[in-house]
Chains A and B, each alone.
Chain A
C-alpha cells in the first residue's frame, strides 16, 4: 500500500493502516531515536510517544514535502523534548581534550564503527552533528530548536567534525570529511 493511501486511512483512524505505517517506519525511526537517546528503554518511550502523535496529527500533514520527512521532524522534536526534559542537552562550551580520546583508526569504511564514534561524542557535539549532518537541519533551525545562538551551533559542529576526524585517524592534510561546511 502506498503512503498516500495509508495517510487517507490513518486520517480515518483505521487501525490496520496505522499498524502498516508503524511496521514500515518504526525500525527507521527507532534507529534515529537511538542516535540521540542511547538507552533502549528511553528510546522506546519516545517511539511510543512519537507514533501516538503521528496518528493523532496525521490530518495536519499538508502534503508539502514527503510524509516521511514530516514524521521524521516530529520524531526528532520528541527526542529533543525528551533530552530537554531530562536535562541531557549539555553543550560543551569548551573544546574537549582530544588527547584523552580513544583513537580507533578504521581500516575501511564501516558504518557501525562510525556510528560508534559518533555515539561516543559529547552530547552537545552529537546532537548538533546529528541534526545538521544526518537530519539536514540548518543552523538557524538548530539554534531555534535548542535555544542557542547560530554561532554556538556552528562551533559545536566544527568541534564534532574535528573529533570524528581525529578518532578516525585522519590528519590535517587529509581532504576527507573536512571540518568546514562548504565541502561537498
Chain B
C-alpha cells in the first residue's frame, strides 16, 4: 500500500475530481425557487407601489379643498386693513352647514377684526 500512497495533495486532487450526479429534480427545484423568488419580489414591489400611491394620494389631496362635515371649502385669508383680515370661503356645495344657504361657487367674505 505504502508504495502506492502519495501525499495529502494527491488525496485532495483526487477528492476534488470526484463527481456525483444529483437527482434530476434538482434542476426543476432551482427553476421553482427562481419563480417563487420572482413572485415574492413582484408582490413586495406591488405592496411598495401601493404604499407610495396611498402616500401620494394623501399628499395630493392635502392641496385640495378640505372636507368638513361633508362640505368642501377653500379658506382664503387676505390682509385687508392693519386691524382686520378679510376671510373668504368658497363653498363647493350648495349648502352651508350654518343657518343660511349659499349657492355652489359663491364666495362668502367675512371681515374678521384682528382684536375682537
Binding site for B on A (CB under 8 A): 19, 22, 26-28, 30-32, 34-35, 43-44, 47-49, 51-52, 55, 105-109, 111, 114-115, 118, 133-134, 136, 161, 168-170, 174, 176-177, 183-184
Contact = CB atoms under 8 A, between A and B. Distances in A.
Contact of A47 (B4, B18, B26): B26
Contact of A35 (B2, B14, B15, B22): B15
A121 B60 CA distance: 68
B5 A109 contact: yes
Contact of A27 (B1, B8, B19, B33): B19
B22 A108 contact: no
A133 B12 contact: yes
The contact size tier of chain B is 20 to 34
Nearest to B37: A52
B20 to A, nearest CB: 4
B8 A133 contact: yes
Contacts of B4: 108-109
Smallest CB-CB A-B distances: 7 pairs: A27-B19, A109-B4, A31-B20, A31-B18, A30-B22, A184-B7, A48-B29
Contacts of A183: 7-8
A44 to B, nearest CB: 5
A176 B2 contact: yes
Given A28-B19, A161-B8, 7 more contacts: A22-B27, A30-B22, A35-B15, A168-B5, A177-B8, A183-B7, A184-B8
